[in-house]
Structure 1
Amino acid sequence: MRRARNGAEVLQLLTEQTPDLVLMDIQMPVMDGLTACKQRRANEQQQGLAKVPIIALTASALAEDREAVFAAGMDGFATKPIDISQLFAEIARVLQLPLSPRAATPAAASVPSQLLDSDHGSALWGSEAAHRRELQRFAAGPLQHLCEDLLTAESEQNFSRLLQQSHAYKGICGNLALPALSSACANLEQVLQQQQPQLIQPRLLQLC
């Protein structure tokens, strides 16, 4: 494992070796993660280099920041503070590693009744106040568009977009210690992965 302090160092390290995966912080001095990723993708195309999987690490849960990550050429997205189980799941998805037997089991329709796990949220964000601030940001932004985004994609039968959105919202809600919403998004994501279109609307009803 190699560490870099900024985007310029990331690019330099990538000239010395081709890692299996890069975890790229978005906010770094000298050169930010988005710029570094764009430059790496340009180098790969121009020089015929191997494509390195890159997962963004960011404290932002806003939809526009997520879109910027993928527009820059990154392959995955993980929010900070890091939830190890969610990060490992994203790494497995990006690297196309086999799911565990438990993860491969068909999705259960049940959803946890607990909307907010305050203790877990405080542990993730370092304090109750920090967790509350992030919840307020989520409520003022992404939460207002969650159902609209999912229902629009479903009505257009854009299942790849629906899968991407359900995965994204699952991670955001999990990182904010919202177990009911995160689980409902996970249920939706799983039926999409298993190509069970008859179960999409019932799973959407758990959310919207």
Structure 2
Amino acid sequence: MPQSPDRQVTQTRAALLGHDMRNAISDILSGLELSDLSSMDYAMAQQLRAVQSAARQLARLSDEVLALVSGEALPSDTGPAVIQLPEFLQELANRWPTSAANPVGLTLKMGADLPRLIGTPERALERALVNIIGNSMKHTPKGVVTLGVTLDSHEALRFTVRDTGRGFSDEALARLFELGGRPAASATPGTGMGLHIVRELVDRIRGRLDIANAPDGGAQVSIILPRTAWAPGVSLQSAENAPPDLTGKTVLVAEDNLTNQLLIRQMLETLGARCMVAADGEQALNLLRRLPIDLALVDIEMPRLSGLDVITSWRADETSKGADRLPILAVTAFVLSSNRAQIYDAGADAILAKPIMSLESFGQAIAALLAKFGTPPQVACEQTALEGTLHLDRLLALAGEAHGRELMSRLIQDFATVSMGIERALTNMDYAEMRAHTHVLISLAGAVGSSTLQGKAEQLNDAANSNDNGVISKIAPGAVDDLAEIRNWLAQQNETRFGEERA
């Protein structure tokens, strides 16, 4: 159905406002990234870290608001994701530094056996925790607010916010999840929407809420994520998310904002690249025509010649000369699908939205782009199929002393069966057998804590379901090597723990 003129005007205004919002937030984040916080006193540095964390969340929330206003469907936050849990938690804690204006602050307590990576949509988890912590802060004028993160039985991940306030009244407990459910007699300002929002977010990430008054006073709100919710299997791309090594590559940065120039240049040089910077579109096109460039990062909105014009002109040059295609990453604050379509139509190979949140996301965007050209960059550190003995220790502890030997024997046998089955399926290109064995491998790899192999098993299983020989041929050899590594490791663990040679 055609859109009404008023609707089109609203969407256009939303796109323009969204662009300006992202540019403003980008300037804030870029300035904070370039600030030397180590030279400041502790209190000031903490305050700036809180501003930085809040600005990052504001950038994510502005995308969602823009999508609601414009009717756009931005990338979903309900699918697989990877969060580096210690860093995520520390950044969250930075949002509430202790100060004269906020004497409560937030105390972070992390269990010693927490996973380093979790596969949970970051926006939803962050928003839920921010709402819970914010509520606790409002209801705790003095005392302590604590965020504790632990692994419960069966590896359920628990995020618990406790405070030393008054706790929930009986009326509040009865109306916890109602929209605007704050009791009329409550003297604390607010809308009563916080826990309503939290429940929706926690449902989205397949967790559950546990809300009560703590035995020693105050409120206690927990988000509990079963293992199937926080560790569904890290995808291959996410498991190999080490920063790319761009040593020896020359990268053109076409960007007119001086702060963004400096930030992007620093990140590229950290990844080993040699940078050429152009302050406007004409200069960028001239550099492309004069110098050998391996990768171009092009801002869309530049003076003298727009980024779209730069990309279009360069693609025309390539066609006329019969030259190889240059990887081009468009960097833009325009995020709506109509903008993206226009950028891709001009000849960009990928889009990176401003503000750039971290070196990790920046590096992953570049790695994904170069992978499209069949020459993925080397990563700065090698990945291994093994990530320590923690998961095996837990399995053996759950099995108990009487059954530990039997469990280890079954693990070794199951891995041997799966390994032989995958090799046989690969030789015969038997999709049914590949599906059967990779389905088992997903669980086995998760049981011993190998997210790398688990991700490969999931990709192989998906490829076998769609009869995708190309993906299978690409992924399977690495999975077979990982299986061999894990089988040897299990044999060593068996001998060390139970004094038995490999069966």
Q: TM-score, normalised by structure 2?
A: 0.21
Higher strand share: 2
TM-score normalized by the length of structure 1: 0.48
User: 1 or 2, which has the higher helix percentage?
Assistant: 1
Larger Rg: 2
